[in-house]
């Protein structure tokens, strides 16, 4: 099944990788390789260990066991720097550029050409950056500051940075999670170019259709083990879905009888902040889950914090449990029985840093959310978006340079009310499609929503206003 007779040599070969975080065994004996000129997709649920495996490859995490060969050279115990020099590069989910510096300066960061006296050769940096950009066909201004650029352009800078350092393997960790459809197409064209040039690419994504479009081979991580690689033309989406589904957690939840939601328990009118949110109206009824979807940076987290009274410059009318509360007051909200499950629980939650042996995965943290479900709970962590998006009634458009548009309320339909269903990893595919349809209607003006199907369970896995 795996294209074993492929004549191209392995650029990277990871053998028997074991990685533990305390008592949490994330990877148990994983083999992974990348060949020249291929796109090797890495799939798995959130928290499966995809990023961890790649961080082991980059030397950011040390593996507990196993060996790593890059171009035949053993690099298992070397530093990140040595891996970079050996030609392994990673495009991060959180980008690793210096925001206050220009594109050109970022491309040459850490290896600036020097004149006598330790002076930086700015002219040369600018010239070579311009060349590099032109040769790759990107429309980037070498003098633009990174902080002024949209996400897609920053990603292009990252790719150029990798190429200009002679990368032969480029790891892309969920590169499309904050791209629009058009930007995604540009990225795929770039990937095609890189592949044609003999560069090996590791492509991590949740989006099944995308994987089948760009990848040559794919591997699936589940329960710390890797399956594959499979050639993408010899495996089907349902087969991959089956590989990803965790049998242990497949709790077949019978959809509860449809229940009409109760009265409005939480209502917001005209909620605005200086920068991200403009005139947002939203109402939550008893026993109802209201999903909020949007691309990274679109303002989902800001909205959740503003709803909880945590954004200092928020304005608007807030009604909770029948009484009027200012836009800016967390204590009365808590007294009235509202809670926020923050996006970054380590940084914003109440707990101290997780101790070894007390780690919990996404499933457990999800249960924590459910434990709070007797009250209105908001959860904005990315991981929840797939689950929420089934019932997405709200949609945040992509943040443009000028901030955000208006979030529109779309009449929520019945059938996705129970918080408990968050727990279920398998959902009725028809419901997923229903969610997509609603999403499409609820999208921002002129934007068609892209609801895609994730293999397992058929839950819509990505919804965005595009």
Ligand X SMILES: Nc1ncnc2c1ncn2[C@@H]1O[C@H](COP(=O)(O)OP(=O)(O)O)[C@@H](O)[C@H]1O
Question: By CB under 8 A, is residue 355 in contact with another protein?
Answer: no
Q: Which of 140, 169, 306, 318 binds another protein (CB under 8 A)?
A: 140
Cα–Cα separations (whole angstroms), residue 108 to 155, 158, 205, 370, 440: 15, 11, 29, 48, 43
> Contact with ligand X (CB under 6 A): which of 10, 14, 26, 268?
26
Q: Which of 7, 118, 312, 446 binds another protein (CB under 8 A)?
A: 118
Based on the shown chain and the rule CB under 5 A, indicate whether residue 52 belongs to the binding site for Mg ion. Answer: no
HEC string for 329-363: CHHHHHHCCCEEECCCHHHHCCCCCCCCCCCCCHH
Q: Which of 25, 361, 372, 373 binds ligand X (CB under 6 A)?
A: 361
Nearest C-alpha neighbor of 184 from the set 176, 174, 173, 192? 176
Least gap, CB of 158 to ligand X (angstroms): 18
Contact 89, 44 (CB under 8 A): no
- Helix, strand or coil, per DSSP, at residue 154: helix
- For another protein, the binding residue among 33, 38, 45, 105 (CB under 8 A) is 105
Regarding 23 and contact with another protein (CB under 8 A), the answer is no
Of 415 and 457, which CB lies nearer to ligand X in the complex structure?
A: 457
Least CB distance to Mg ion at residue 353 (A): 19
205 near Mg ion, rule: CB under 5 A: no
49's contact among Mg ion, ligand X, another protein, none, with CB below 5 to 8 A by partner kind, is ligand X
| Residue 150 engages another protein in binding (rule: CB under 8 A) | yes
Q: Residue 316's Cα: distance from chain center in Å? A: 31
28 binds ligand X (CB under 6 A): no
Contact 234, 248 (CB under 8 A): no
Of 299, 238, 261, nearest in space to 419 by CA: 261
Instruction: Label residues 114-144 b or e (16+ Cβ within 10 Å = b).
Output: eeeeeeeeeeebbebbbebbeebebebebee
Which of 10, 14, 45, 51 is close enough to bind Mg ion by CB under 5 A?
A: 51
Q: Does 49 bind ligand X (CB under 6 A)?
A: yes
Helix (H) or strand (E) holding 70: strand 65-70
How many residues form the binding site for another protein (CB under 8 A)?
57
Does 119 bind another protein (CB under 8 A)? Our answer is yes
How would DSSP label each residue in 281-315?
Answer: EEEEETT---EEEE-TTSSHHHHHHHHTT--TT-E
CA distance 230 to 228: 5
Q: Which ranges of 165-296 does DSSP label H, i.e. alpha helix?
A: 181-196, 208-214, 237-244
From 101-109, 329-337, 389-397, 434-442, span contacting another protein (CB under 8 A)? 101-109
Looking at the Cβ atoms of 52 and 422, the one nearer to ligand X is 52
Q: Is residue 389 at the binding interface for Mg ion, with CB under 5 A as the rule?
A: no
Structure tokens of 127?
């010239």
Q: Decide: helix, strand or coil at residue 323.
A: strand
Residues at the contact surface with another protein, assessed by CB under 8 A: 80-81, 84, 95-101, 105, 109-112, 114, 117-120, 132, 134-141, 143-145, 148-150, 152-153, 156, 161, 163-164, 166-168, 182-183, 185-186, 189-190, 193-194, 196-199, 401
Residues at the contact surface with ligand X, assessed by CB under 6 A: 21, 24, 26, 44, 46-52, 361
């Amino acid at each position: 099944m795996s294209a074993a007779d492929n004549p191209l040599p392995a650029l990277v070969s990871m053998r028997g990788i074991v990685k533990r975080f305390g008592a949490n065994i994330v990877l148990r004996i994983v083999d992974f390789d990348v060949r020249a000129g291929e796109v090797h997709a890495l799939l798995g649920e959130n928290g499966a260990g995809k990023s961890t495996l790649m961080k082991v490859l980059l030397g950011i995490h040390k593996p507990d066991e196993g060996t790593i060969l890059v171009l035949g050279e053993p690099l298992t115990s070397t530093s990140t720097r040595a891996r970079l020099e050996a030609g392994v590069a990673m495009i991060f989910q959180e980008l690793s550029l210096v925001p206050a510096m220009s594109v050109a300066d970022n491309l040459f960061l850490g290896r600036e050409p020097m004149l006598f006296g330790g002076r930086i050769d700015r002219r040369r940096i600018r010239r070579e950056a311009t060349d590099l950009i032109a040769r790759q066909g990107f429309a980037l201004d070498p003098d633009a500051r990174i902080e002024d650029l949209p996400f897609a352009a920053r990603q292009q800078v990252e790719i150029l940075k990798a190429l200009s350092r002679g990368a032969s393997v480029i790891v892309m960790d969920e590169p499309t999670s904050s791209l629009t459809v058009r930007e995604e197409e540009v990225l795929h064209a770039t990937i095609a170019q890189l592949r044609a040039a003999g560069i090996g690419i590791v492509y991590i994504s949740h989006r099944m259709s995308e994987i089948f479009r760009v990848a040559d081979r794919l591997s699936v991580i589940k329960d710390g083990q890797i399956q594959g690689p499979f050639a993408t033309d010899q495996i089907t989406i349902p087969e991959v879905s089956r590989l990803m589904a965790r049998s242990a957690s497949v709790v077949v939840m019978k959809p509860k009888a449809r229940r009409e939601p109760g009265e409005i328990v939480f209502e917001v009118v005209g909620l605005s902040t200086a920068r991200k949110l403009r005139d947002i109206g939203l109402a939550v009824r008893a026993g109802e889950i209201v999903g909020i979807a949007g691309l990274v940076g679109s303002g989902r987290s800001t909205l959740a914090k503003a709803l909880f009274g945590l954004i200092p410059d928020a304005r608007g009318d807030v009604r909770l449990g029948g009484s009027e509360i200012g836009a800016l007051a967390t204590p009365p909200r808590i007294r009235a029985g509202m809670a926020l499950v923050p996006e970054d629980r380590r940084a914003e939650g109440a707990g101290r840093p997780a101790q070894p042996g007390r780690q919990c995965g996404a499933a457990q943290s999800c249960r924590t959310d459910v434990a709070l479900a007797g009250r209105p709970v908001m959860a904005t962590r990315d991981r929840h978006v797939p689950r929420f998006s089934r019932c997405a009634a709200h949609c945040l458009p992509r943040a443009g340079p000028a901030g955000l548009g208006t979030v529109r309320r779309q009449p929520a339909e019945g059938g996705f009310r129970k918080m408990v269903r968050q727990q279920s990893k398998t959902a009725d595919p028809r419901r997923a499609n229903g969610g997509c349809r609603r999403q499409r209607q609820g999208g921002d003006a002129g934007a068609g929503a892209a609801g895609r199907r994730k293999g397992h369970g058929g839950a819509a896995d990505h919804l965005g206003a595009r």
